[in-house]
Amino acid sequence: WGRVVVVSRGLPVWEIFGAKSSRLGIVNTEGGLVEGVNKKLGLLGDYMDVFKGIPFAAPTKTLEDPQPHPGWPGTLQAKDYQKRCMQPTLTQTDVRGSEDCLYLNIWVPQRKKQVSTNLPVMIWIYGGGFIWGGGQGANFLKNYLYDGEEIASRGKVIVVTFNYRLGPLGFLSTGDKALPGNYGLKDQHMAIAWVKRNIKNFGGDPDNITIFGESAGAASVSLQTLSPYSKGLVKRAISQSGVGLCPWTIQKDPLFWAIKIAQKVGCPTDNTTVLANCLRITDPKTLTLAYHLDAFSPADPLVHYLAFSPVVDGDFIPDDPKNLFANAADVDYLLGVNDMDGHFFASIDLPAINRPLVKITPENLFRLIQGLTIEKGPTGANEAYAIYTQMWSNTEDQEVMKRTVVDLETDYIFLVPTQRALQLHQESAKSAKTYSYLFSEPSRMPVYPNWVGADHADEIQYVFGKPFATPLGYKPRHRDLSKTMIAYWTNFARTGDPNKGESKVPIAWVPYDNESGFYLDINHKINYQSVKQGLRALYVNFWNVVYRNLPDPLSEPSPDSGTGPHSSPTSSLSRVCRQLHWLPTTLQRS
C-alpha cells in the first residue's frame, strides 16, 4: 500500500510498497494536515484519492470579503461534503445551507503503482443564476452531479469543486464603498488562489490550472479571467452557456435592489452607510428570503429579474467586461452554448411552449420581444420582430412559432453574447487560442416536445461522465458522446488544444477566428461535417450591430407603436445582410 511516511517542510513524501495501490494518505496544506479517502475504480481499475470539505477561507461574515482560514490542529478528516452556501429552497419559503460554507473538494487520479505528479488541474464553478447551487451539485441517491471522478479518471486531471456565496449574501451591493458587492466572485477567486498555492502537494501542476463552469458559473469563469486580480492564476478557461457580456451577468442598478431588500427587512435607506451597517447585522436567513423570484410573463421576462449578480465595482471588476479582454490575452479560452439554451427561460416566460394543445400567438412573441428590447423602445421591438419572423409563412405553424420563441431567448440570453466574447477574446489574444462550440444533443426530458434540442445545462451530464457513472439511465450513444466531451475538455486543460493530449478525439476541432468563424457542432453523431462556420450569423449581426446602433428612445415604449406583429421584415433584413461577413448558406443552426 502507498502511504505517507513523513511530512517534511510542508511536502508529503510517498513510499510505495509492493504493488497493489497508490495513495496520497495525509497531505499538508497551508491550513494544516488533511486526509481523504482512497478508492479503487472497478475490479482492475486505477485508484482515486478524494478529499471533501477542505476549508479554503474562514467562516464568512455577512456582506464582507472572505478572509484566510486560521488553520486547524491535528489532521482534518476531509471525507464528507460540507454544507452549501445559504440559499432559498426551490419553494422560496425556507433556506438551506450555511454562512460557514467556503469549502472545496478534490479528486486526484492515481496509477496502480505510483502516485500522480504534475497533473493538469480543472476547477469547476457551478451555475444557478447566482441564487442556487453548490460545489457537489444536485444529489440523487448519493450520486452527485458534480462528482469529479469520471473526468479525473478518464482525462487524467485533478478536478476541484467549491462553494461560493449566492443571492443577497453573495452579491448585494449599494454600488459604492459602503457595500461594494462581488463577495461571491471574491470567494471564487480565493478558492482558485488556494488551489494555486496548495495543489502541488496533491500532485497537481500549479502552473496549469483551467477554470470551467456553466451558466452563472460560466459567466463567473469569464469574469475571473477578465479581473486584474486573476493575472497569472489560470492558464485556460471554459465557459459553457455564459460569459461576462450576457445581459444577466452584470447588475447595472444594484442600489435599486439594495434599497428593496433594506425596505423588506426594515433597514433605513437614508444613506448607503447606514443601510449597509444595518444589513450586516440582519439575520442572514432573513436577508436570503427577502429576495423572491415571482411569476413572469412575456412582457416581464425572467432574464431581467435576476437581481443579485456581479457589479462593476471599480476594483475586482474595474470596468464594463467588454473593455477588459486585454486581461485575458494570455488565457486559452473554449466557449459555447447549447442550441436551445433559451428553452428553460422561454418555458417560464411562455408556459405554452411545452404544451402541445396550447397555442401561442404572434402577439405573444411580440410582447416577449418588447420585454427583451425595452432599452431600445418600439423601434428595437419592431426590428427584432421582423428578423425573427422573416421565415414564417401565413399559416404560422405552432411548432415554428414556439421554436422561434426558443431561438429568440437562446440568442438574446446566451448565444449572441458568447459570439461577442469569442470575437473580443480573439482580437485581444496574443499566443492564446480560442475555440467555439454548439452543443446540440436533443434533450432527454420525456415531458418536452420532440422538437426540443439541447436545453440549458443539458451538456453537464456528459461533461461529468454521468452515462458512465449511472449506465442504466443512458444508451451507448450517450456514453460515446460523454467520452468525446471529456476528451476534448481534458485535452484542452492539458495542452490548450482540445485535439492534443492523453485522449483520442473523433475529429479535429478547428480554432475559432473572426474571419472564418469556425465552431464545432457537438452531438453523438459528430463527424467531419460537424466543423461549421458562422453560427447564426444573421442574428448575431442583428443584435451586435443593427440593434446596438439603434437610437435610444426618447420616451417609454408603447405596445401599440410601430407596425408590431404584422410588420414587414424587408428593411431590417436587408440592413443586416449588407453587414454580414458570411453567406446565407452558413446560417444554419444544426
**Residue positions annotated with a catalytic role:** 215, 341, 456
Q: How far apart are the C-alpha atoms of 485 and 198, rounded to whole Å? A: 28
Does residue 107 sit in helix, strand or coil? Answer: strand
Alpha-carbon distance of 122 to 558, in angstroms, equals 49
Report whether 203 contacts 135 (CB < 8 A).
Answer: no
Q: At which residue does the C-alpha cell 493530449 appear? A: 501
Closest CA to 151 of 502, 573, 555: 502
DSSP string, 362-428: HHHHHHHHHHHTGGGHHHHHHHHHHHHTTT--TT--HHHHHHHHHHHHHIIIIIHHHHHHHHHHHHH
Closest C-alpha among 115, 82, 117, 78 to residue 96? 82
First to last CA, the chain: 51
Closest residue by Cα to residue 584 from 382, 423, 408, 574:
574
d(Cα 121, Cα 106) in Å, to the nearest integer?
10
Residue corresponding to grid cell 467588454: 322
Q: How far apart are CA 128 and CA 133, in angstroms?
A: 5
DSSP 216: H
Candidates 109, 139, 96; CA nearest to 46 is 109
Contact 406, 342 (CB under 8 A): yes
Give the HSE-up count for residue 478: Cα atoms under 13 Å, Cβ half-sphere: 20
Task: Give dist(CA 435, CA 528) in Å, integer.
Answer: 16
